[in-house]
Amino acid sequence: MLKGAEPPFMEPGSKRHDNALWRDRLYGGLRARALPLVMVDDHTIPAASIWTGARLWIEAFRSAGLERGDRVVLALDPSPAWVQVLVAAIWEGLTLIPLPSQALRKPDDIASTFDPALVVGCGKADWILGHDSDFAPRPDARKRETTLPTDPEIRLVMRTSGSSGQPRFVAISDENLLSVLDSHEAHLGLTDRDVCLSILPWHHAFGLVIDLLPALFAGATIVRSERALRDPNLQLDLAIANNVTYCSMVPLHVERLAQIGRGQEWLKELSGGVVGGAPISSHQASILKNTRLRVGYGQTEASPGIALGEPGEWHEGAIGSPIGCEIKLDERGHLLCRGSNACAGFWHADRGIDRLPTSRWLDTGDLATRDSQGKLRFIGRADDSFKLSNGRLVESALIERKLANALPEGLRAVLLPAEGKIDVVVLSKSKPENGSAESALRLSLGPLADYVGQVHYLRESAAPKTAKGDIDRLALGANLRTTLRAAA
Amino acid sequence: MTTTAQTFVPANVLANLSTLDRSKADSCNFGIVQVDDSGKILLYNNYQSELGGVPVSDAEGKIFFTQIAPCTNNAMFFGTFKKGVAGGALDVTFNYTFTFKMKPTNVQVHMYRDGVSGTNWVFVNRA
């Protein structure tokens, strides 16, 4: 990381010096430099202008009366202003809550959920701070009166993906954040010669902590187009036009890129990047095995980095090796981690941040196993488990894994709770044949077969997916119930 | 990056760069910086001087990409210039954010090498 002297405009002895570690990195890494360079859609901003822009935001925050620990919601689309606000908020020791810009359609909800002192975005309330065409803050916002306590050590409050239940808001401290950045830095191997294609959301922990911040601190060039986020062809065009060397993504991106002609070759040409955010399927692993991309395993509750794989080391359910923390499997097969990455606590709209012990084992809620070579494999989510009417626990992930070996090639089963029984959805890559897996399914389920209600057959491509590409079990169950009601 | 099709520089200026002197450059309402093949500033017009807050006398003779506008010392800006000069063809326009008078300012940039005179130009316009 780049180092630099303390900036001359800071008041010696002020409490703002508490954040010296961050300030050293930000000042040394940005001021008067040409790199990092951030290219977002039609805007290209070098480090020097990120720095001077951040100073304007710092002045605006101070003018509005913000103090260390005050909560600031950042609800802009990715832009130079987004990066400047990020730098300014970290510099000032504010607690930043990045949200998608659409969240500001309901500003009262933001106020009641986060009790923020200020919101950066587009809106009419006097506690919403906007910017001009040069991304400089408009000098007309005032601090909102807040009621919930602040926590000056909390740097970020970030939403979990909610792919397995209700989303939660995770409180990430300076220690959490710096621990993950420092432990991942050497492994990611980013340098100022890298050009990074940014396709992950910046308001998610993976996109911000594992992708954007390491690239900024490495002095890399970051290329992003909001128009290209959902279009793999545009992503490739952008990557090729800018000589992209590095790209982090979720497994769904891998699949989509591999489906277009140049995509698979381009993935092989990348010098690095992290694939994470969702489990790796055998198909995705086969696409990735000849690349220099590596698996990244974690969750927002772990700030969010837990493990990284080696470049090109891929297998179904790949997790990699722990980075900056220790991990273990408990007697139930849950994967636990312990270290400075374990989040400082959770945000609650009614009382603020509930702190958690820093030395605890964090239960990821993921089920994993070690293979014969000692490598960890992800099996599934523990909270996909459910109980039968007789109280017996159905550990879906473990059973589905067993079924995957028993069912004919190209089929997989998903177990869903159905009023004390089990509904089974058999997913197939090609057109499903009803009844084709019934006997193998029942044989493999053993005594549990007595609790099977309906068996449904569905083409895998027709199954609802989460944004990261997992099967959306809640939506799948709801769809089945709707279909059954209509049929009745 | 795009080529001259999207430039803000009038065609008559581009067509007569071999005769563009200081008074003509100062009459233009956009920034004009002439540099040699190493990036040393040969001409810095009044508009650019006022935009950047750098007196003409302080700018001329310095290396544009490292001493006057160090924020351009990257592959995208200076690298493109060097590649263009080495190849004898430079004609790109792009958006950039300079810091002028301590405030980030969005500009359009057109870097151009005049094939007739063998001179290099950086044109800057407030976006």
CATH 3.30.300.30, chain A: domain bounds: 385-487
In a domain, B90, yes or no: yes
Residue showing tokens 């916002």: A141
In a domain, B16, yes or no: no
What CATH number was assigned to the domain covering residues A385-487?
3.30.300.30
Tell me whether residues B99 and A48 touch, CB distance under 8 A. Answer: yes
Kindly give the pairing relationship between strand A305-308 and strand A321-322.
Answer: antiparallel
Span A158-176, average pLDDT: 84
In a domain, B7, yes or no: no
CATH architecture entry for A15-380: 3-Layer(aba) Sandwich (3.40)
Between A and B, how many CB-CB pairs are < 8 A? 71
Please give the residue of chain A at the shortest CA–CA distance from B104.
A49
How many angstroms separate the CA atoms of B8 and B124, rounded?
A: 9
Provide the residue range defining the domain that includes B101. Answer: 30-126
Give B-chain residues touching A50 at CB under 8 angstroms: 104
In a domain, B21, yes or no: no
Considering its fold, how many domains does chain B have in total?
1
Residues A90-111 pLDDT 10s: 999 999 999 999 999 999 999 9
Nearest to A46 among B74, B94, B106 (CB): B74
In a domain, B12, yes or no: no
Contact A384, A164 (CB under 8 A): yes
How many angstroms separate the CA atoms of A325 and A362, rounded?
A: 11
Give B-chain residues touching A133 at CB under 8 angstroms: 106, 127
Span A60-68, average pLDDT: 96
Residues A7-55 pLDDT 10s: 444 444 444 445 888 999 999 999 999 999 999 999 999 999 999 999 9
Best of B83, B106, B107, B110 to mutate (most A CBs within 10 Å, chain A): B106
Q: What residue ranges in A340-438 does DSSP mark as E strands?
A: 345-348, 352-355, 362-370, 376-381, 386-387, 393-394, 411-418, 421-428
In a domain, B13, yes or no: no
Give me the percent of chain A exceeding a pLDDT of 90.
66
Residue type present at position B22? R
How many angstroms separate the CA atoms of A111 and A118, rounded?
A: 9
**CATH code of residue B93:** 3.30.450.20
Residues A316-341 pLDDT 10s: 899 999 999 999 999 988 999 999 99
Give A-chain residues touching B72 at CB under 8 angstroms: 34, 46
Tell me whether residues B74 and A48 touch, CB distance under 8 A. Answer: no
Contact B99, A52 (CB under 8 A): yes
pLDDT at A454: 87
Contact A379, A208 (CB under 8 A): no
